[in-house]
Structure 1
Amino acid sequence: MTAALPTWRDWLFSAKAFAASMLALYVALAAGLPRPYWAMAAVYVVANPLSGATRSKALYRALGTFIGAAGAVLLVPPLVNAPELLSLAVALWTGGFLFVSLLDRTPRSYVFMLAGYSLPLIALPAVGDPGSVFDLAVARSLEITLGIVCASVVNSVILPTAVGPTLANQVDKWRNGAAEWTAGILGSGDPAAAAEGRLRLAADVRGLELLIGQIAYDPAARRTARHARELQARLAMLLPILSSLGDRIGAARAAGADPQGFDALRADVLRWIEDPAVADPDGLRRRIAALEEEVEGQADWGALVLAGALARMRDLVDLWQDIEAAQRRIVLGERAQGREPAPRFRNVFARAPHYDFGLLAFSAGSVVLATLLASFVWIESGWVEGSGCVIMTAVGASFFAALDDPVPQIKAFTIWMGISIAVSGFYIFAVLPQVHGFEMLVAVFAVPFLLFGTLVGRPQFTLIAMLLAVNTASFVGVQETYSADFASFLNGNLASVAGGLFGLAWTMATRPFGAALAARRLLRASWRDVASIARGGSLPADGRFAGRMLDRSGQLAPRLAALPDGEAPDALGELRLGLNLIELKRVRRDGRAAPAVGELLAAVGDLFTERARTGRRIEAPERIRVTIDAALSEAAVDRSDAGRATLNALVGIRRALFPAARPPTLPRPVEAFEPPAYSIAAE
């Protein structure tokens, strides 16, 4: 399948980026800056079709460069006569800032990663002349700042592309994906049929954070950021609600609970979600309430699970209405008028990101060791241009440290760097000697850089295009006066390629495990959380559980393919289990089922502790089901609010741990109850 040809938008963006790069190069040459090509390269580093993204990356690149430059000035003079100590300081600085960047999932993380690898970029070339490090740091800061200012100004003044419409288009895709998943649940009642859409939505909700972070830098979409966060919170809530709804619908059908009008209601809710103009959400709520009254007081398991399904369906209607409203406000952007309606679904989970500090520390530590080892090779070999090897090792390893398997990307990084060197050599030795004047320079640069620019905005080619543009601009090394030496050019650039190859070999040797290890560690972290809840974890920890589980679902989604068949987790099932355990803990002291509930919590805690210890999905023993059914029997005759809440939580736990078990026999009729909306913590 061939890639589509560039669109007019791609050509427009490329022309703007090229104009900004030539402007930066012209000003740098006119100002007599020592390395004007740094200004040109900086334009392509921050270039993005979206104005807000360009501004945010420009600001963060400036800050990162200043921090790295300050570090070089601080470390080089006192340590230049102790090369081993200087190498250690450079490696620790690079890895330390990289670790901080891995903890920040917003565009702001670029500040810390850039601060990390800017230090070797500035410090190592100055080792032979430590007195020049301050001038070198100032020059790089000025040239980088010049490049990003030119990129920001040109992108903002010439037909800027706002983040808001792009976000609206992306949200529309996510909404359609959520509607497909909903159709799989309300249409077939089989949540497994929509598993792929569920996991894709989990990853998309997590990825929305990046676009939200860029909106703040788009003057045309400042108000949109709040609406986008509201939308993100409610899209996240779709995950547990749809998962619970699908489970309860399947259980109700298996138990033979199918009151008249339920299938028609499901079809109408689905039709309204697919086209909001075809139904009235208030009318759907009235029909849901009528069916709840119909099952009230029925004395069987089917009535209990059906009551849960109806409650979740009402939550879905409220939530989807909020999603539609937030999407409309994002589309309208600053043109939105009037008072915003209060959201109908207020009980959203608190955001609580999950960090695997062990793997993050390993990734950063790997970069430290790679940089340190490359430095020692440089020192022992006495290779004058060997600093380029250390620099490229640090840069390449830092760029891709967040990936589970960085090898393919580092390999591409090295290959395309080699291609850039070849293109640069052609320009330096065949083209530039014929150039006289800046106008001719612009003309000869136009063809390759305009082509590179058309690929920057296309995700599948962004890395390749940026590497070609940035490396070609850097390796050509345009100066005010032409001077070129083939031996020096070859020696310096071979060092850069050697750095890429060294980083590739190091990564292949130290990180062979790929995504499977990360996925298994996420599973074990989830099991530890469930065990902690069951064993009596603190209320604040309980309150963060749902947010962490949703975040883990987003992290697991792209990694599931790495797990062997049969190991794929039901992260949302475990989320539902944890929520019901939290509810059970909240009411356990107030009901007659308290002794059986205490025994159940201890047994579930033991089960998930063992899962976390062994890393295997151990099946729940039959004694836990017996304990659940005993607690159900006690709660069924308890007419208090605590009894009803206990009954609802026990139904959820039984469905999570024993979805295929025969329905229990309840001792006497129970009054219908309304399962509460998920509400651990408000955002």
Structure 2
Amino acid sequence: MNFLTKSAFIFSLKTTLAAFLAFYLALELNLEKPTWSLTTVYVVSQIYTASTVSKSLFRLAGTVLGGVFIFLIYPSTVMYPVMFSLAVSCWVAVCLYLSLHDRTPKSYIFMLAGYSAAIMGFPDVTTPSDISYTVISRIEEVAVGIIISSLVHVLIFPVSMRSLLENSVNNWYQQAKKVCGSLLTQHQSADSPERDQILVQMANYPLNVEVLMTHCAYEANQVQRLVRLVSAQYQHLSYLVPTLTAIEKRLKLLAAENIQLPEEMRLSVTRFLAWLDDSAEENSESVTRQLEETQSIIQQRFLTNELGTEQSLLFTGLIERLQNFVRILTAYHGVEVRLSQLKRRRGKPEVMHRKKYVDEGMAALSSFTAFIATFVCCLLWIGTGWSSGSNAAMFAAVTCSFFATHDSPIGGMRIFMKGVVIAIAISIFYSMVIIPRAITFEALIICLSPALIFMGLIIANPATNFIGLIIATQLPGYIGFSHDFAPNTFATINAALSTTVGIVLSLVITLLIRNKRPSWIARRALRAGLRELLQLLGDIRLQKSTLLQRQQFIQRMLDRINIILPRNVVDPGINMTMENNLITELWLGANLFDFYGRYYQILQQAGVRTDPLFHEISLYLKRRLKNIHELPGGDVLRELERVLVQMEPLAKNNINLYMPFYFVFNIRLALFPAVRWSSSQGQWQLSGDVE
């Protein structure tokens, strides 16, 4: 692995320079623990300037919040160790719970507010009168570190995130084009693992792009305009995964039944592929018009019995999804055109944040784990009277907070433990052998520079970033720099033992309470989606649903899909395929609304009874909440068959009923993909499963 790149060297040198400048300024300002300023530099320093600035601001805000809390509770609780420990442990848990409700980098504010209170409050319990000075000093030390780090990274060879953000969105767009093109040009009888892998990668893009947008909002004005552009494009690209899977499903059905595309559809697909190759430059109006004309021809052939029922509906569905794809890409390109016509606005752009799915149960469980780990370490500290026992409680809070977002935190905690042990070993060597010889600040720079530069190179490499960051942030604290540069070896060893105990206890408690598989997280997201689908179904039946509700339902389901898909790949323990990950449920909800919500009056006038169908689908979804592998039963199929058989002649006599007929066919296709239409008998019959 290549560590010695130009960008890595520049980052390492900038960070080392910022660290020594911050340490020197903290010494000159006579701050209590100048080593905190040095540590803060390594905590907030990132390869990209914008992420350094944003993390610096988030860290300052979190530190201030934690300091204010400790300052407020100290007078009334510090004389009662158990009460004080309980208060701080509860604060850590509450802040972590709030942090887990935000999946952007801003969640760092509340997470830090939680464990920074423990870091500021626990060490000073033996001298409670100094708490005001301690809180102010910690905030000042952190402020010095983030100001120096931000200035160095902004002024010296700044690295913009513009290309990273542009490439992420462009890769998202290009992969969608690649998948769509391969679907229409390759044989669909077999699954394509490569295509499925691309779809999983596309499911990861929304979160990655949101993270980049959050950081880029702190860059220069020209990059802020890009954030506004990407924020709008992001909304359109998020619809690509379900659209592509819907295209794939219909093509597979056509291939399985050996149904050839009619001439007008072949021409439309050819025209679509030509547009797809150059969609950024070519106007979409002509391909949209051709798809609409083909749609009309298919409907007319259905009315005149030139096409079979299932063929007509499958062709209609394929054209409809291709039209969706055209609209998505057209909107994607149209955003840039519209923004380029606007005058450049000043100030930080407003990044759109839609309401995201939050697993309240998992957030509560993670917070409870952090509370138990912190409080248990506090009780151990109180019971033993260990002078350095505060380190155990502090690191229990830090460890549980750091890894609360992980499906299975144990792996990350082990790496954290490994990094801390390495930092302890290096710090003991430095405090016993190297540092005692450094009697001036210049000598200290000479002693520390090789290690800090090497740590910077490790941090700059994505593969070793995490372990390098752990070592670099823990090393100065264990050495325990003071104003006379005289480290206390005994204090270092004592603190190291206490830290190790805290991490081990938090790891064990997490293993007992919080350690979950990715498949467990995916199941919870799936059930949450099913509950929302049930709610939408009830609103549709009562005519309470709206287009806005439909849109919000789709957005929330897309968010859950992006959570489920990657976890199915990492941990396929629940055997959820591409058709069992809420994509089907998303289309089911949308088609139920389009069938009944849009055409309620027409269906009522035609005398189509829909209540039994909605009732059976509702019962099936309730059963599936208990068993996610539950398949729709014969009652649902019979009701679908009844509605479809009733609507087929009505649709042939009234073109206005064709689209509701098509939507109820889509419902059948979602629930029973293996059932085929036999036009000679007017019945549905079971065929081989093509999924």
Q: Work out whether the TM-score is over 0.5.
A: yes
Quote how far apart the aligned CAs of 1:481 are: 0.4
2:21 aligned residue: 23
1:662 aligned residue: 676
Which of 455, 463, 466 is the matching residue for 1:460? 463
Query: SS where residue 162 of structure 1 aligns?
Result: coil
1:606 aligned residue: 619
More moved, 33-42 vs 309-318:
309-318
Query: SS where residue 573 of structure 2 aligns?
Result: coil
Amino acid of the residue matched to residue 115 of structure 1? A
Question: What do the CA deviations read for 1:433-466 (whole angstroms, capped 9, x no partner)?
Answer: 2223222222222212112112324332221111
1:45 aligned residue: 43
2:319 aligned residue: 310
Which of 235, 244, 253 is the matching residue for 1:242? 244
- 1:90 matched to 2:91? The reply is no
Question: What do the CA deviations read for 1:8-67 (whole angstroms, capped 9, x no partner)?
Answer: 111111111111111101100111111111001101111111221111111110010011
In 2, distance between residues paired with 1:275 and 1:460? 36
2:473 aligned residue: 470
In 2, distance between residues paired with 1:277 and 1:481? 64
Quote how far apart the aligned CAs of 1:279 are: 6.0
Query: SS where residue 103 of structure 1 aligns?
Result: coil
2:439 aligned residue: 436
Contact 1:117 1:394 in 2 (8 A): yes
**C-alpha RMSD over aligned residues:** 2.5
In 2, distance between residues paired with 1:641 and 1:54? 60
Change (3 A) 1:241 1:666: farther
The number of residue pairs the alignment matches comes to 651
Which of 619, 632, 637 is the matching residue for 2:644? 632
Question: What do the CA deviations read for 1:615-643 (whole angstroms, capped 9, x no partner)?
Answer: 33211123322322322233331466762
Amino acid of the residue matched to residue 122 of structure 1? M
- 1:492 matched to 2:458? The reply is no
Question: What do the CA deviations read for 1:490-513 (whole angstroms, capped 9, x no partner)?
Answer: 112211111111111111122343
In 2, distance between residues paired with 1:16 and 1:275? 43
1:99 aligned residue: 97
**What does 1:54-133 correspond to in 2, within 5 Å?**
54-133=52-131
2:197 aligned residue: 196
1:345 aligned residue: none
In 2, distance between residues paired with 1:76 and 1:623? 64
Amino acid of the residue matched to residue 489 of structure 1? T
More moved, 287-296 vs 224-233:
287-296
Change (3 A) 1:35 1:394: same
In 1, distance between residues paired with 2:353 and 2:675? 33
Compute the TM-score of the two structures, normalised by the length of structure 2: 0.89
- 1:150 matched to 2:165? The reply is no
2:583 aligned residue: 572
Contact 2:561 2:581 in 1 (8 A): no
Contact 1:168 1:327 in 2 (8 A): no
Query: SS where residue 564 of structure 1 aligns?
Result: helix
Change (3 A) 1:276 1:642: closer
Contact 1:25 1:36 in 2 (8 A): yes
Quote how far apart the aligned CAs of 1:77 are: 2.3
Alignment gaps of 5+ in structure 1: 330-335, 341-348, 669-683
Change (3 A) 1:278 1:259: farther
Contact 1:255 1:302 in 2 (8 A): no
Change (3 A) 1:152 1:189: farther
Contact 2:564 2:581 in 1 (8 A): no
Which of 643, 646, 649 is the matching residue for 2:657? 643
1:323 aligned residue: 332
Contact 2:203 2:566 in 1 (8 A): no
**What does 1:10-409 correspond to in 2, within 5 Å?**
10-188=8-186, 190=188, 192-193=191-192, 194-220=195-221, 221-253=223-255, 254=257, 256=259, 258-263=261-266, 265-270=268-273, 272-276=275-279, 281-299=284-302, 300=308, 301-324=310-333, 337-338=340-341, 351-409=354-412
More moved, 495-504 vs 603-612:
495-504
Quote how far apart the aligned CAs of 1:543 are: 4.3
- 1:597 matched to 2:599? The reply is no
In 2, distance between residues paired with 1:305 and 1:117? 56
More moved, 236-245 vs 133-142:
236-245
In 1, distance between residues paired with 2:238 and 2:681? 38
Amino acid of the residue matched to residue 289 of structure 1? E
Amino acid of the residue matched to residue 62 of structure 1? L
In 2, distance between residues paired with 1:232 and 1:241? 15
Which of 657, 664, 667 is the matching residue for 1:653? 667
Change (3 A) 1:447 1:483: closer
In 2, distance between residues paired with 1:114 and 1:378? 22
Using CA pairs below 8 Å that are at least 6 residues apart, which structure has the higher relative contact order?
Answer: 1
2:688 aligned residue: none
Quote how far apart the aligned CAs of 1:574 are: 1.5
Quote how far apart the aligned CAs of 1:324 are: 4.2
Task: Give aligned-pair identity as a percent.
Answer: 25
Question: What do the CA deviations read for 1:198-239 (whole angstroms, capped 9, x no partner)?
Answer: 222122123321111112111241111221111211111112
Change (3 A) 1:607 1:421: same
1:675 aligned residue: none
Amino acid of the residue matched to residue 177 of structure 1? Q
Question: What do the CA deviations read for 1:492-550 (whole angstroms, capped 9, x no partner)?
Answer: 22111111111111111223432221111112122222222233365365442111110
Amino acid of the residue matched to residue 539 of structure 1? S
